[in-house]
Chains A and B, each alone.
Chain A
Amino acid sequence: MSALLRLRGITKVYPSVVASDRIDLDIQPGEIHAILGENGAGKSTLMKLIYGVSQPDEGEIQWQGQTVHIRSPAQARQLGIGMVFQHFSLFESLTVAQNISLAVKGSIRELSARVEETGARFGLPIKADTVVHSLSVGERQRVEIIRCILQNPKLLIMDEPTSVLPPQGVQQLFETLRRLRDEGCSILYISHKLEEIRQLCDKATVLRAGRVVASADPASHSNESLANLMIGRSIEPPPHAPANAGDAKRLLIQSLDHVPTDPFGTVLKGISLHVSPGEIVGIAGVSGNGQNELMRLVSGEELHSAHHAGELSIDGTCVDRLGPLQRRTKGLGFVPEERLGRGAVPELSLSLNGLLTAYRHGLTRLGMIRFGAARKFARQCISDHDVRCGGEQSLAGSLSGGNLQKFIVGREIALQPSLLVLSQPTWGLDVGAASNIRRALLQLRDSGAAVLVVSEELEELFEISDRLYVMFDGHLSPSLTTRDTSTTQIGRWMSGEFLQETITGASDH
């Protein structure tokens, strides 16, 4: 059997780094092939080369036995290569059918029918006449996949597709991908989630620092041995001693209602939550169920309206009317979900980005910046958290997502906050980097800080948190002790089951 796609000696050099180093890769028709690697191992670069976004400096690409030069994504699509991006390339103000009609020939009416029919065939239910901005991330991904399928691809590239999906959604996606494979479409699956690759993929190629280091049958490996291949050393999960939580309530929210200013935001209803010093509290839930709104309230980016019930307090003082800066002086540290623009300023250097939140910690004097101290602070964050970059003067926007995240989390931890709030702290990070961050959070907890983590990754929450809440449709569940609960229960609560349980619970009395 001849390979569908064959890469030979593909090399791509960027000014500061060799992103792809003599890569060989064979993809057979009808297989799901994983590309596995850490952040910055060169997975995305390789995909861009295959999809024609950029061109290799050296090497040869063969498609169905023919040597090809793929100069643009349009050409890649003509060959039969489709790609679903990590950040979606949909037009938010257009409907599903309109979006698809931009890439696929046919009238809107005819396409609407095909969209819904294809959706049903592959387990991707979607309504063709909804406007994209009102869809959840998971639904948007469906639209992207359907758009690719309608172009009859022979090879479908999926870039970290599960990073935006809830656990149930992941299984559904796998089912779709298997059906696609059974119809003869090969799939190139990029991920750093080992468990998924073992479940789904027929073959795995492991990249490290731009090189192919191994080619493996994932089903015959354990997670640990795959991780070893990927990182080149073994990693241990952070030791998780039970929490030593005090009775004090560092962060306290009591039956709080809130209508967000964003017209598409989720209304928060009766949120009660507390975090004590010395514990990590997790909030699970599919994104878009009000986590963002809650985070904005806690960070002070959005103020809780006095017309609504409830209040927010830190260390017993009401902070409802305090802005982010004043809350930070009370010991709050905050890591938002969006790294660029909210967590860091892309156009500023790392040392100036450090200054943004750390300026009170000896980095200014009489209103003047102490550049030496600021650079030293940034260097410290970089070395403490293994941030891979060109030094503290490199621009935040030039770092890969994972490395910038390490820097931002490192910066906030370095400030030794008494209350640290993080949203998706390890989103898009590989196992090694994620486990470093989790370890740092546990250390911070053991030093007596209160930590609140919003995450979509259940495994992560189970690994580090002492107590858990689940968020659904603007409601927050009662608190659960992590040790006494299971992923199954959390999974059920994530679809809102706790609401009925609380109601029945109440009616029992």
Chain B
Amino acid sequence: MLDSLVFLIAGTLAAATPLLFAALGETVVEKAGVLNLSIEGMMAVGAATAFTVATLTGSHVSGFAIAALASALLSTVFAILVLFFLANHVAAGLAVGILGLGLSALIGKNHEGQTISPLSDLDMGWLSELPLLGKILFSHDPMLYLGIVMIFLVWWLLSHSKLGLIIRAVGESPDAASAIGYPVILIRFLAILFGGAMAGIGGAYLVLSYTPLWAEGLVAGRGWIVVALVVFGMWRPLRIALGAYLFGAVSLLELFIQGMGFSIPSQLMSAMPYIVTIVILVIMSRNPRLIQLNHPASLGQSWHRNA
């Protein structure tokens, strides 16, 4: 029983991490007023690149780094379409997302079905030796901890730093921000790059740690759940993290229930994390006042100077 608990909690943390990275990145993007729906594609490109690079070089670090770069590069395409050619955010996001899925298949073509040794866990000495807690909290890989650090970093950035204030101002009213003299396009561009890199890291975590193998379509809709997490988490990093962990927990429960021999159709089981996460987040975010306070008012609207 205790073993299952350890497995459940540790597994939840791992399952949530890819979503966490991508969602925190997207939060910054959306707070700046840009709706980037290409996360699924960016995660896929990140995953394929990470797997390929790590396989060829044997270095997980390079895998993560190149994955972040690759996805940021893909997000640049989106940024150029949206910021300079004033393309509709939704349409551009979908197009770039589909492009990303295609690219990921191409990049990972020679490694289809291969496995890789997962990212090794951090050795925290006596902490990792602790009974129970050691296994639950102190025997994970460094990226998982980085994910947790990122929650607080993004939270602090958005609610306590000057840069965050500027990002929020740009997302609420680009006209007013520009009138004060802030470079709206540049800030949005950088936010989109950050979002891309984070989605890439999320994708990389999927193949280098969570399920250490490459197969086309392995992201399996996580990019879409990320979009939902950000919106229903009301652009607040702590709520979004909660949503990501919820998703992780339900994914794990699925394995449990199957293990216990209940005969529930597997399709329904695999749909559970998506359904449960969305339903709970929707219920949590019913408060119109909170939405009004947190919703970036210019989200998804094209903007150019002297409009």
Residues of chain A having any CB pair with chain B under 8 Å: 53-54, 72-74, 77, 89-94, 98, 101-103, 131, 133, 263-264
Contact = CB atoms under 8 A, between A and B. Distances in A.
Contacts of B216: none
B252 to A, nearest CB: 36
B176 A89 contact: yes
Interface string B162-205: 10011011001101110111100000000000000000000000
A328 B306 CA distance: 39
Contacts of A54: 306
A91 B168 contact: yes
A77 B181 contact: yes
Contact of A73 (B179, B288, B292, B297): B179
B165 A98 contact: yes
Nearest to A103: B180
Given A101-B165, A102-B165, A131-B293, A91 B173 contact: yes
A315 B13 CA distance: 66
Contacts of B128: none
A103 B178 CA distance: 11
A91 B169 contact: yes
30 contacts: A54-B306, A73-B179, A77-B181, A89-B176, A89-B180, A90-B176, A91-B168, A91-B169, A91-B172, A91-B173, A91-B176, A91-B177, A92-B172, A92-B297, A93-B172, A93-B293, A93-B297, A94-B165, A101-B162, A101-B165, A102-B165, A102-B177, A102-B180, A131-B293, A133-B293, A263-B288, A263-B289, A263-B292, A264-B289, A264-B292
A191 to B, nearest CB: 22
Chain A binding surface, main DSSP class: loop
Nearest to B178: A73
B139 interface: no
A77 B172 CA distance: 22
A141 to B, nearest CB: 15
B285 interface: no
Interface residues of B, number: 21
Given A53-B179, A89-B173, 13 more contacts: A54-B306, A73-B180, A74-B181, A91-B168, A91-B169, A91-B172, A91-B173, A92-B172, A93-B168, A94-B172, A102-B182, A131-B293, A263-B289
B301 interface: no
A53 B172 CA distance: 20
Interface of B: 162, 165-166, 168-169, 172-173, 175-177, 179-182, 288-289, 292-294, 297, 306
Most chain A C-beta atoms within 10 Å of own C-beta, residue among B176, B292, B306:
B176
A473 B277 CA distance: 42
Nearest to A90: B176
Contacts of B293: 93, 131, 133
A2 B176 CA distance: 34
A54 B181 CA distance: 14
Contacts, number: 51
A90 to B, nearest CB: 7
Most chain B C-beta atoms within 10 Å of own C-beta, residue among A77, A91, A101, A133:
A91
Contacts of A90: 176
Nearest to B288: A263
Contact of A133 (B165, B166, B175, B292): B292
A72 B181 contact: yes
Contacts of A53: 179, 306
A152 B130 CA distance: 61
A63 B164 CA distance: 36
Contacts of B179: 53, 73, 89
Contacts of A264: 289, 292
Nearest to B162: A101
Contacts of B181: 72-74, 77
Contacts of A89: 173, 175-176, 179-180
Contacts of B306: 53-54
A73 B166 CA distance: 17
Contacts of B166: 102
Contacts of A101: 162, 165
A72 B178 CA distance: 10
B33 to A, nearest CB: 12
Contact of B169 (A73, A74, A102, A263): A102
Contacts of B168: 91, 93-94
Contacts of A133: 292-293
A149 to B, nearest CB: 15
A102 B173 CA distance: 13
Contacts of B176: 89-91
Contacts of B162: 101
B255 to A, nearest CB: 41
Nearest to A98: B165
Contacts of B169: 91, 94, 102
Nearest to B175: A89
Nearest to B180: A103
A417 to B, nearest CB: 34
Q: List 8 A-B pairs, minimum CB-CB distance, nearest first.
A: A74-B181, A89-B176, A263-B289, A91-B172, A103-B180, A91-B169, A263-B288, A89-B179
Nearest to B176: A89
A73 B182 CA distance: 11
Nearest to A263: B289
A97 to B, nearest CB: 10
A98 B168 CA distance: 11
Contact of B294 (A72, A93, A98, A103): A93
A95 to B, nearest CB: 10
A73 B180 CA distance: 7
A112 to B, nearest CB: 14
B1 to A, nearest CB: 46
Contacts of A92: 172, 297
Nearest to B287: A263
Nearest to A95: B165
Most chain A C-beta atoms within 10 Å of own C-beta, residue among B166, B172, B181, B289:
B181
B164 to A, nearest CB: 10
Contacts of A131: 293
Contacts of A73: 179-181
Nearest to A104: B180
B238 to A, nearest CB: 17
B161 to A, nearest CB: 11
Nearest to A51: B179
Contacts of B173: 89, 91
A98 B172 CA distance: 13
A103 B162 CA distance: 11
A98 B158 CA distance: 12
A106 B288 CA distance: 33
A263 B166 CA distance: 27
A431 to B, nearest CB: 30
